[in-house]
Structures are given as structure tokens and as C-alpha cells.
Structure 1
Amino acid sequence: MSRWEGLDEFVAVAECGNFSRAAERLRLSSSHVSRQVALLEERLQARLLYRTTRRVSLTEAGQTFLARCQRLIEERDEAFLTISDLHSAPTGLLRMTAAVAYGERFIVPLVNEFMAGYPALKVEIELTNRTLDMVHEGFDLAIRLGRLSESSLVATRLAPRAMYLCAAPAYLEKYGRPHTLSELGQHNCLIGTGDTWSFQQNGHEHQFRPSGNWRCNSGQAVLDAALRGFGLCQLPDYYVLEPLRRGELVSLLDANQPPNTAVWAVYPQRRYSLPKVRLLVDALKAGLALCPEYRGQADDQRA
């Protein structure tokens, strides 16, 4: 007996809610579907379904088993699809994650544009500032910012990401402009999600722990406070380039700007061969290159 026997039938019954509709979906007889599920339960020595005359429902064991089976079946079908046609159109379910603010502003619009061309594709996007375990939680793709930690995941660079130390002209007129890293401690710092700010000094990375009377875990909120003259901020380019161009912010300590990091597409190695992942990564890279926030990052943007 194949270890796969009964899995398709069980998943169909669980998703359809009864044996008749599951049989219709699979184009099998109801008796065959019922027999395969019963044999599966016997093999597992566990009840997966509660059966009534009208409907079936999942037991606790069935709920746990269903999530794994759905993923197994999807990956099995995708494996066949990948081998049969490496250049086929994206299909099936793609699960991805990105940081909240960056995802809302850049990634989701590009994903929506991509989906418009592939109606057979389904996408689930989880926007969170937590670093999720992609493999354990079943994600195909993650968009990550900054520097990557060591892992078995594969990363593709999508866009640059430069950090700027900035302040509004009104703040600098009142409190003065820092000219060295040692002077930062004399200023009110607007603190975001990180506890440290990174700089370069004498060819080495230098970490500064900011302090001040304002903190929020939103980059947009930090930007607003900086524009109001509340203090210094360190933010990525896509937040501050436009205010810098308009003169609403002034770039500070340019010689100490930290090395550029990046925006990354991260995925398990085996997932990249799937058209839905490979083509979306390409579309995100091309789309970000066209965003106004990533154009013309030249020295003349700095004051």
C-alpha cells in the first residue's frame, strides 16, 4: 500500500465537508472515497473525522494532519508541474511575508500587478515585523530588509537600502548640527524599531545607542516627528529621499554613513524552481527599480 493512499481523499472530504462533494471533486465514487479514508485512519491508528448523516468534521488529530497533508499534496503537484514545464505560468497558492510598512508601500502593489497577469495564481501575504520561520510555517517567499543572518535560505537582492541620519532645518537652527559621532549624545534622537544606529568610522562599523524623549516602531511616524523638528533620526532611503530633495530634511555625518545593505527576496532553495516564485521575484526586482524612491540616489541629494 502506498503511503500516499487516502491523502487526497481525506483532504477533499475535509475541505468539502462531506463525502459526496469530495467524490465529485475527485471524480470518484463516494464509496471509494469513504473506503480510502477509513483505510487511512486504520493505518494511522487515529480517527481523523467525525461522521454524521449530513456532514463530517475534523477531530483534533484530523485538524493537525490536514494542514500537513494540504502542504504535501500542493508540493507534490508543484513538483510534477515544475518537471513537466519549467516555463509554465504561475499557478497554485503562493504564501509570502514582508515587513508591514515596506510591504504595504512597495511589495503588495507590485504583487497585485503581477497577479493581474496570472489569474490561476492565489497569493496569501502576511505583513509582520517579526522574522518568521519560513520552512516551519510554510512560506514560499519572504521580503527582508537590511543585513541577513546566516541560514540555509537563498537570497536574491531586489533593491539597495541606504541609511541616512537626518534632521529638520528648524531643529538644527535651534540645537546645532553634529559634526562628529561623539556629538550625537548631545542631541535628542527619535528612536524607531532598533536600539542602535550604525555608522562607519575609520573603516570600521560603529554602533551608537540613541537616547531621546520619543520612540515609535513605525518608520513613517519617525519621519513625521523628524519633519516637525523633534530631533535626529536614522531612516532608510525610501523614507527620506523626497524630504531631502525638498529641503525639509538635512542629511548629516555623510562621511560616516553606514555601508549600504539591501532589500532581499528570501526563499528555500527548492522553491525558486517554481514559476510562481521565480517569476514573482523577477517582477519585484524590476518593479522596485522603477519606483521613484529608488531613482537618482546621488550625492546632490545630501545637504
Structure 2
Amino acid sequence: MASWEGVNEFVAVAETGSFTQAALRMTTSVANVSRRVAVLEERLGVKLLLRTTRKVSLTEAGQVYYLQCRALLEGLEQAELAVTQMQQTPKGKVKVTAPVTYGEQKIAPLLHDFLQLYPQLELDLVLSNQKLDLIEQGVDVAVRLGQLDDSSFIARRLSNRHLYVCATPEYLAQYGTPHTLSELNQHYCLIGTYDHWRFKENHQSRSIRVKGRISCSSGVVLLDAVLKSMGLAQLPDYYVSEHLESGRLVEVLPSYRDDREGVWALYPQNRHLSPKVRLLVDYLAQHLPG
């Protein structure tokens, strides 16, 4: 029967490269670490570590064994976390990232409400239109918009958003209203992060390349330009809904509007059992409109 004896000590030595550092990590003696690793090697009948006066390194068998043991220990840690934290009040720091404008308008207010429910939580909110490396940056939850890249992260749909092509009545009076996708090349188009706009034609998604005088990654900047009658823009609902309702903007090509895009919570697999992450994602899913 497999045994755990010596596994923790071996992993500690493999990760620190030193029996001394491994002993410090485990708050035990160097002799105890050395003895348990030796017993492990004897039981397996293979050398796991190469010891010299200057360093400790893994043998080929040791590297294979370490990778398997590391995965097992992480599984054990998650199992213990699931049991011990089920009834605990969430506390500590939670790090969240979201796109700038959506984060300012939709996510940040909900996070503030969430913190009022759980006073022992601290928030580190990073608003950025760049996709941060969740592992490298220590991010607990990332809010992402639109289509997701394939990844090993867990994704949960929180809400939806629509993309609207719109212009001012003044612009349309001067340049005319496009009724087909081919007419877009006759108009000034205000270009965002991508120079392609998304549509749906005959139940098929289409991507149309557009051109114009202004290109900017900021939706706020594009909104200002379209409100000043400088062209057409394709923007998410949270930028333009108010202006469409007031009549300052008019939707064009509504019959070609694409399906709703997803608003997602993305988080590393080792976070899904954490109470603070689980509760936060549930809260966002319950309170985001759409």
C-alpha cells in the first residue's frame, strides 16, 4: 500500500534545493528530513536526490516522482480547504480585475456592496483593458467580456451585453442611413480595439472590416466622437443605452445586430473552493443586469 511517509519532506527538499531550507520550512530538524527522505528512497528502491556538498538536485526518477507528488499534495490541500472553510466567514484579500469602463460602471459598485456584507474582506481591484496573467499577478477573479480564449481556467457566465452600431441624427441627416452591411464603406467609422465589427446576417455571424479617421482603444473616447457627429460607432450597451433612449443617438442596422456576448467570471481552478471567490462570483451573477 502507498504511504505518505517522507513525501512532504521530499517535496520540500525538491522545491528548496536544500535539506536545511526544507527543515526550516517544515519546522523540524535537518536530521529528521534526511532520515525520512532516505526511508522513502529505500521503500521505492530508487535514488530521488543527488546530494553534493554544494547543492541538492533531482534525479530523472526524482523529477517524475516530484511532479506526481506535487499534484497529490495540491489535491490534499484543496480537500482540506473544502472541509475547513465550508462554514467559515470569508476574510482576507480578494484581487479582482475587470475592463476599465465596465469595471467602473458595473463591477466596482457591486464589489463595494459585497464588501459591506463581509467586513473581514479586503479588495484589490485592478481595472485594465489588458488581459492580466491571473497566476503571475495573483488574481482571484477576472471579469472578461465577449468570446473567451481556450484556457485551463474555470469560466462562469455572469451576464450578457449587446453591441450597437449608432450615430447621431445630425450625422445621418448629412451622410444618410446605411441599410446594408456593404454601405458601411461609404461612412466614417469610429474604430475601437479591433478594426472589425460583428454582425449577424442570414443567421450567420459576420465580421466586417471598417475604416475611418479615428481609432482608439477607449470606448469613452469613441462615445464622445460619435456624440459629436463624427461617424458611426459600434459600442456595448452600457456606453450607449442612455443616449439611445434619449434620442441623442440612433441605432443603425438593427436587423444585423449580433447575438448577445457573454460577461464572464474567470478564475484559476485552485480558487473554486475558496469561500470568498465562490461567494463573490455568486453575488456578481445574481446582481449584474442582463
User: TM-score range, shorter-chain basis?
Assistant: 0.7 to 0.9
CA contact (8 A) 1:142 1:265 kept: yes
- Matches of 1:91 and 1:247, distance apart in 2: 46
State the secondary structure of the residue aligned to 2:277: helix
Structure 2 partner of 1:216: 216
- Matches of 1:220 and 1:167, distance apart in 2: 15
State the secondary structure of the residue aligned to 2:117: coil
Structure 2 partner of 1:119: 119
Structure 2 partner of 1:265: 265
- Matches of 1:123 and 1:274, distance apart in 2: 15
For the pair 1:90 / 2:108, whether they are aligned, the reply is no
State the secondary structure of the residue aligned to 1:137: coil
Tell me the alpha carbon deviations over residues 88-133 of structure 1, each in whole angstroms, 9 at most, x when there is no partner: 2212222221112211222122112211222222222222111122
For the pair 1:99 / 2:117, whether they are aligned, the reply is no
Structure 1 partner of 2:61: none
Deviation at 1:76, TM superposition (A): 9.3
- Matches of 1:119 and 1:79, distance apart in 2: 26
Structure 1 partner of 2:155: 155
In structure 2, list runs of 5 or more residues that go unmatched. 1-7, 13-21, 34-51, 56-74
For the pair 1:245 / 2:245, whether they are aligned, the reply is yes
Structure 2 partner of 1:63: none
State the secondary structure of the residue aligned to 2:185: helix
Structure 2 partner of 1:7: 25
Task: Write out aligned runs for 1:1-303 (5 A).
Answer: 2=9, 3=12, 5-7=23-25, 80-289=80-289, 294=290
Bigger Cα displacement from structure 2, 178-187 vs 139-148: 139-148
- Aligned residue pairs: how many? 236
State the secondary structure of the residue aligned to 1:264: strand
Deviation at 1:78, TM superposition (A): 7.8
- Matches of 1:101 and 1:135, distance apart in 2: 24
Letter in 1 for 2:218: S
How high is the TM-score relative to the length of structure 2? 0.73
Q: Percent identity?
A: 44
Deviation at 1:217, TM superposition (A): 1.4
Deviation at 1:177, TM superposition (A): 0.1
Letter in 2 for 1:7: R
Deviation at 1:137, TM superposition (A): 3.2
In structure 1, list runs of 5 or more residues that go unmatched. 10-31, 47-74, 295-303
